[in-house]
Amino acid sequence: MSKRTRSGVKNSKKSSENEESIPTKLQKLSSENLAQSFIESRNNCSQSGVSDFLFNKKRVRILSEETSVKAGCDGILYWMDRDQRVQDNWAFLFAQKLALKNRVPLHVCYCLLSKSTDTWRHMKFLLGGLEKVHKECKSLQINFRLLRGYPVESINEYIEDENIGGVVCDFSPLRTPKEDVEILKNVLPKDITLVQVDAHNIVPVWEASEKQEYSARTIRNKINSRLKEFLEEFPPVIKHPHEYKRKSQLIDFQNVLSSLECNRDVIEADWAKPGLKNACDVLYSFCENRLEHFADCRNIPTGNFVSNLSPWFHFGQLSCQRAILYIKTFKSKFPHAVDVYCEEAIVRRELADNFCFYNENYDNLSGLSNWAHKTLNDHRNDERNPCYSTSVLEAAKTHDDLWNSAQIQLLTDGKMHGFLRMYWAKKILEWTKSPEEALETAIFLNDKYSLDGRDPNGYVGCMWSIGGVHDQGWGERPIFGKIRFMNYKGCKKWFDIPEFVSQFEDKMRG
């Protein structure tokens, strides 16, 4: 049995009153028809789609000098990047709203580099999701294009070829996507409008706060006070009445995947399959089997009490807002669990976007608070014993069986339990030559192997563990200084370490 010294499963009183508080329709749902129930929810919101829906313009930023769609154009283009889905996507919906208003076809493109720094694991998941987007777009008379090459060049060429009158793009707070959008803005023809929609956060990052927030404490009320305005049902993306007349692109996604230059040594994670239907299966399983215990047991790595939804959130294949709308239907049944999940999936997740958006050094030590920077410098020359190379850490060959097991989980499953992510990163600080090397190593390993790598949550998680971001100073000790400390003995108080290690013994021997 797992030790639950600090967080055990509480007995849940399932009174008939609480059972009845969940609508009968939801009680009868299965994973097979959960996606269908979302379709019904959208249709109940608006039968005619987004054209008659009161779209909250605070989700939108006009980036170009031109504010109107070019007269006489032949289409609106949605440049899909971070949010790789059709439905429950405010950017897609806004693009369709513009296309309907101007009575022109709607185009959607995704830009794919032939040579990627991502791995086979990431690219197979990404392209598997895009294949489903392509199929759904076709059924809705929306022209989907997979563009190859650098985004700015590919998109600019496409705009000219198709006489596009306006471009809608996704929002990302990360460096490369921000630079791509900025370059596109500067090279677009002056009569083309470029707008950006935050379809990833429930409260748009520029609406949640005008500055980098110090911690969850300082942003919590700013976000929660806006949920009444922004946490709303989505209208559907409808069959587009203005059909694209030219020949649509035929895409062999398997051939595209095979042709990519990427790291093929990192194979796919069998547990996570791309697309909305698979995301719905995981969401349904979480709510039916694990949500009840989430608040008390989410920090127990030996059990399966977490949502496991992060890959689909990261690739935008499932809207976090859609997941929250569904999870909130269990509020009267599991009130504390729902509140705790919303704190993590809304407040903490959007805090990460806030940090990366307002701090250009979100992935290096220059982005730390003064106190954290000073304390790490004060202990820079402290002895590290042991001191491991990146290759030893990557191969999970340290002296610590718990750390090795967590690393093996990352290598094989493309994920790591959230509690162990903290321990894992803090031990890298303890076992490497410098704070800089520690942060670089943690980010490298997370981005290479985790399905939700290259994500604001990942960067902030590493910066919290190694650099005290969104945290405070603690008692001073060697190497860590005032950065919060974690050790093996402390983990024993939370869960049964041998039980967790036993799950990975065979893989460790291999």
Residue type, 70: K
Distance CA 159, CA 268 (A): 35
Q: Do residues 467 and 392 lie in contact, with contact meaning Cβ atoms separated by under 8 Å?
A: no
Going by the DSSP 8-state scheme, the letter that residue 264 receives in this structure is T
Q: What is the mean pLDDT of each run of 10 residues along the chain (510 residues)?
A: 38 35 47 90 93 95 97 97 98 98 98 91 98 98 97 96 98 98 96 98 98 98 98 98 94 96 96 97 97 97 96 98 98 98 98 98 98 98 98 98 97 97 98 98 98 98 98 97 98 96 78
Strands 193-197 and 164-170, by their bridges, are parallel
Tokens 């707008």 appear where?
195
Give the pair of three-digit tokens for residue 60: 């939108």
The Cα–Cα gap between 96 and 103 comes to 10
- DSSP state at residue 239: P
Look-up of token digits 């007349």: 245
> What was the pLDDT predicted at 508?
63
- pTM comes to 0.94
In three-state secondary structure terms, 116 is strand
User: DSSP secondary structure string, 438-456?
Assistant: HHHHHHHHHHHH-TT-SSH
**CA count, 13 A, side-chain hemisphere, 59:** 25
One-letter amino acid of 34: L
Q: What is the pLDDT of residue 24?
A: 38
Give the span between the Cα atoms of 276 and 268, in whole angstroms.
18
509 Cβ partners below 8 Å, 6+ apart? Answer: none
Instruction: Answer whether 480's CB lies under 8 Å from 382's CB.
Output: no
Residues in the chain: 510
User: What's residue 509's pLDDT?
Assistant: 64
Q: Are strands 193-197 and 60-62 parallel, antiparallel or unpaired?
A: antiparallel
Q: Measure the CA–CA gap between 276 and 199, rounded to whole angstroms.
A: 16
Go through the domains of the chain in sequence order and give each one's CATH number: 34-263 (3.40.50.620), 269-358 (1.25.40.80), 365-509 (1.10.579.10)
- Sheet of 193-197: strand order equals 60-62, 193-197, 164-170, 75-80, 106-112, 143-148
What is the C-alpha to C-alpha distance for residues 282 and 268, in angstroms, rounded to an integer?
17
Beta bridge partners of 167: 77, 194
Burial 392-428 (b: 16+ CB within 10 A, else e): ebbebebebbbbbbbbbbbbbbbbbbebbbbbbbbbb
Q: Is 392 helix (H, G, I), strand (E, B) or coil?
A: helix
Say if CB 104 and CB 76 are below 8 A apart: yes
Task: Please give the C-alpha separations between residue 236 and each of 86, 88, 171, 240, 360, in angstroms, as whole numbers.
Answer: 9, 7, 21, 11, 35
